[in-house]
Amino acid sequence: MNFRKIIHLLFYYVVPAFLLGSVLYQLSVGSDIYHLVVEYGGNAFLLVVFLLFIKPISVLFSKVSFFRTLLSYRREVGVLAFWFAVFHSVSLFYYLNLFSVQTFFELLQSSALFLTTGLLAFLGMFVLGITSNRLATLKLGKNWKKLQYIVYPTFAFICIHKAQAEGEYGSYVVLAVYTVLKLLQYLKMNKLLFWRQKTGKAL
């Protein structure tokens, strides 16, 4: 079994089973699952940051093969981020008793931005997660790549949700840095395209 297959098995099957087991165990012993909510949410955020940052970094530092290698694992990392987001969301709903309609609307009135951006971020992650497989790629065809663009507003919602949850603005800085990296990536790729059109060869 090669390394990619091991990563595939871990990220697609082993990790979600472990996360589910952790939640069920904590509930069975009557422990407070808030620490799981925080941990799973933090891990989901870091994985999405990696998922998005690795593309512009690999373009800007194209001579570094290590970044290109990491780039090839983006789908697996995306699935892992999806699982952490799912268990973060479900655990948070359970912890805050948001399955109760009354409680849900009470929190919506007091923390509308936190709850709304969290729900939108989860919906975005859910769509991205269930389409991160070969079957979805084949069925959607050219539309698959277009669908993946929802990762950008999803990331913005994640950053806002995290800032609201923690009462700090570090995630906004991360969002700003990513925007700069994407701009630099765009400029470099356009420079390469212009050079090739002008000279007929790569830069």
Residue 194 lies in a domain: yes
| CA gap 26, 18 in Å, rounded | 12
Residue 128 lies in a domain: yes
The helix/strand/coil state of 24 is: helix
Domain that holds residue 143: 3-97+116-199
Angle between helices 74-95 and 34-60 (to 10 degrees): 160
| CA gap 156, 172 in Å, rounded | 9
- Work out the mean pLDDT of the chain and round it to a whole number: 90
Tens of pLDDT along 172-186? Answer: 999 999 999 999 999
Residue 17 lies in a domain: yes
Mean pLDDT of 67-78: 92
Mean pLDDT of 61-84: 92
Residue 156 lies in a domain: yes
What percentage of the chain has pLDDT greater than the value 90? 68
Residue 195 lies in a domain: yes
**How many other CB atoms are there within 10 angstroms of residue 47's CB atom?**
20
Residue 143 lies in a domain: yes
Give me 122's structure tokens. 């989860």
> Which pLDDT does position 133 carry in this prediction?
78
Q: Give how many domains the chain has, as a whole number.
A: 1
Residue 157 lies in a domain: yes
Tens of pLDDT along 151-163? Answer: 999 999 999 999 9
Residue 110 lies in a domain: no
